[in-house]
Amino acid sequence: MWYNSILETIGNTPLIKLQKVAKDVKATVLVKVEYFNPGQSIKDRVAIKMIEDAEREGKIKPGGTIIEGTSGNTGMGLALAAAVKGYKCIFTTTDKQSMEKVNLLRALGAEVKICPTNVEPDDPRSYYSVARRLSEEIPNSYYPNQYDNLSNREAHYETTGPEIWEQTEGKITHFAAGMGTGGTITGTARFLKEKNPDVKVIGVDSVGSVYKSYFKTREFDKSEIAPYLTEGIGEDIIPKNIDFDYVDDVIQCPDQEAFDTTRDLARKEGLFIGGSCGAALWGALEYAKRENLTEDDIMVVILPDSGTRYVSKIYNDEWMIRNGFMKPVATRIAGHVISMKGDERTRLVTAEESDSLSDVINKMNANGISQLPIMKGDEFTGSVTDSMILSQLIQDPGAQTSPVSEIMDAPFPVIEHSTGMGEVTALLNRSNPAVVVRMKDGSYDIITRSDLIITLSANES
């Protein structure tokens, strides 16, 4: 079996159940991973549909030039289609977009013009205006205009919606997606609601975009517009592709939460995705918590693109620190090390003074840990490490049955979550392989030497 061109591989992306990042909500959370498309984003679906509709309507002729204002992903889809079908491409984009996206478009043979972000959409320098002007000036050119071209939302009505319906066997109860042009949410929601009008649709917007207030009042409030760094979602215009009649709620996601969730998805679920994916998931989870979704609910969240386009931004600690999304190591506190441990941050494993040494060894093995605090009631009274247990057993193999209190060392130091990193580092010396941390909520966690090494090396990268 083979495909006739790369374009036939667009769509039919997998739906994947989140295992860890959604564990605070009861609903089943499934993500539709759109980086499986050949251009690594959901926009391949839209690009091919806009071009094929234009060919059918005679709007583009062989040898023509495709001109579009794009943040990169639509450009990538259009460039793929143009390469296969033999068209030229000129794209306009803003100086907010990552260079990876621009270079990818150039790699596929497109010309890219970078325009200023912070100008009005109708300013002649804006990327919308430049694209429109070029399409008027260049003969035999076609301006797909993903914002107002309704082939965009039709692509999702014809493909994204039916795929989700089939993949969930019609059991989907909630659908969440970021809103850029609005094509994804409107087209997919229309299909799903036609199948089952009870499916609830949640649109995710950025703080600094006009959508949320427009959704509430149906009025364009220019005062809502503010700069933000999440790429691909939120607008300062109302495109024709968005139809809020299909949207039941809108949640605005701040950049910080978008980027933290993006990095979590990569580190905890192995989903190497872009910043608007983190935003979409954060919005979906906020909704699920607020509305108390239950075990019976199945929520599908669209993850529109791949992390490869953001390696110099969201996945780069220096960029995160420079933009205020992460704290440099020197100003970090113990609590930051715990949060960087991610999912390894299970409950603190301890043993009782009266437990036998063999029980303690089993506990350490079962949890894959090499040190353990020992407690008497609520108090930390001692500690053991694997190297100290080993030297005990070499001296006296019969020690296995003795209570651990007979061989344990002094307890690990107990510090507050707000203790500065200087003090944490000083405490983790030869005689203290770990420190116990009292968290804000009164629970306890632990920082070991290897946790510290991981934290410090993550910041070096």
E-state strands within 363-454: 371-376, 379-385, 414-416, 434-438, 444-448
Q: Which amino acid, one-letter code, is at 9?
A: T
| Choices 112-120, 230-238, 377-385, 427-435 (CB under 6 A): range interacting with ligand PLP | 230-238
Q: Is 43 in the active site?
A: yes
Q: Cβ 179 to ligand PLP, closest distance in Å?
A: 5
Would you give the binding string for ligand PLP spanning residues 12-51, x where CB under 6 A is met? ----------------------------------------
What is the rounded distance in angstroms from the CA atom of residue 157 to the CA atom of residue 11?
12
- DSSP at 399: G
Binding status of residue 182 toward ligand PLP by CB under 6 A = yes
Residue 434: which of 360, 392, 380, 362 has the closest Cα? 380
Binding status of residue 232 toward ligand PLP by CB under 6 A = yes
Binding status of residue 73 toward ligand PLP by CB under 6 A = yes
Residues in the chain: 461
Binding status of residue 183 toward ligand PLP by CB under 6 A = yes
Q: Which residue's CB is nearer to ligand PLP, number 97 or number 385?
A: 97
Q: Cβ 97 to ligand PLP, closest distance in Å?
A: 10
Q: Which of 97, 173, 184, 455 binds ligand PLP (CB under 6 A)?
A: 184
Q: Which amino acid, one-letter code, is at 443?
A: S
Contact 68, 75 (CB under 8 A): yes
Binding status of residue 179 toward ligand PLP by CB under 6 A = yes
Binding status of residue 276 toward ligand PLP by CB under 6 A = yes
Selected catalytic residue, list 32, 43, 49, 101: 43
- DSSP at 158: I
In terms of DSSP bridges, do strands 379-385 and 351-352 run parallel, antiparallel, or are they unpaired?
A: unpaired
Q: Cβ 70 to ligand PLP, closest distance in Å?
A: 7
DSSP result, 282-321: HHHHHHHHHTT--TT-EEEEEE-BBGGGGTTTTT-HHHHH
Q: Which residue's CB is nearer to ligand PLP, number 51 or number 351?
A: 51
Cβ-defined contacts of 194-200 (< 8 Å, 24+):
195/165, 195/170, 196/170, 196/172, 198/173, 199/172, 199/173, 199/174, 199/175, 200/173, 200/174, 200/175, 200/248, 200/249
Binding status of residue 304 toward ligand PLP by CB under 6 A = yes
Binding status of residue 265 toward ligand PLP by CB under 6 A = no
Binding status of residue 260 toward ligand PLP by CB under 6 A = no
Catalytic residues, by residue number, are: 43
| Binding footprint of ligand PLP on the chain (CB under 6 A) | 71, 73, 178-185, 231-233, 274, 276, 304-305
